[in-house]
Amino acid sequence: MTYRVCFVCTGNICRSPMAEHVFRHHVEEAGLGGAVEVDSAGTGGWHEGDGADPRTVAVLEENGYTSAHSARPFRASWFSALDLVIALDEGHLRELRALARTPEEAAKIRLLRSYDPAAGDALDVPDPYYGGREGFEECLEMVEAASGGLLAAIRAEVEERTA
């Protein structure tokens, strides 16, 4: 049974596609590509159908990640098919919890940086959209730092399911 995770930010053109591609890379490297499906979406549909922000694409590709993407809004109906919904900041967390129709759906929502022990109380990945390239590089650093902990948690879930 495939474990499904979806990363969610505001417009699905900066942070969540970056997290999607970075995490998919980690999943593949860990040999879990057949067991874990990685996706992303936005809390709104402003950029629906658009590719990732060119700065996101540049930072991803310069660091060896893929970048193909088509933005889309998150739908409440997806909760039933997802195992984990990863919010990139507290605002997304609140919006996703408001969309959840049951306590079980709400329990699937987590902040990405909660998987990075070094993050402390700073659990938001700041939106780089209105800034310069350095914000996108910082975003990548935060996503990479949390990916190991997230991968360990998902690996444990996948192993538990197959035991």
pLDDT digits (tens, 9 = 90+) for 31-62: 999 999 999 999 999 999 999 999 999 999 99
Which of 39, 113, 127, 139 is flagged as catalytic? 127
Please choose, from the candidates 83, 67, 75, the residue with its C-alpha nearest in 3D space to the C-alpha of residue 14: 67
Supply the pTM of this predicted model. Answer: 0.97
Q: Which domain holds residue 142?
A: 3-162
Catalytic (active site) residue 161: no
Is 127 a catalytic site residue? yes
Smallest CA-to-CA distance from 125 within 71, 87, 99 is with 87
Tell me the pLDDT of the chain averaged across its residues. 97
Residue of 6, 15, 24, 39 with catalytic role:
15
How far apart (Å, rounded) are the C-alpha atoms in residues 37 and 49?
A: 20
Catalytic residue flag (residue 9): yes
Q: Is the pLDDT of residue 72 over 90?
A: yes
Q: Is the pLDDT of residue 102 over 90?
A: yes
Q: What pLDDT, on the 0 to 100 scale, is given for residue 92?
A: 98
Among the ranges given (17-21, 37-41, 91-95, 158-162), the one the predictor scored with the smallest mean pLDDT? 158-162
The structural domain count of the chain equals: 1
Residue type, 29: E
CATH of residue 11: 3.40.50.2300
Separation of first and last alpha carbons in the chain: 12
- Tell me which of 9, 83, 113, 116 is the catalytic residue: 9
Which of 48, 49, 44, 36 has the alpha carbon at shortest distance from 3? 36
Per-residue pLDDT band at 163 (split at 50, 70, 90): confident
CA 55 to CA 133: how far, in whole Å? Answer: 6
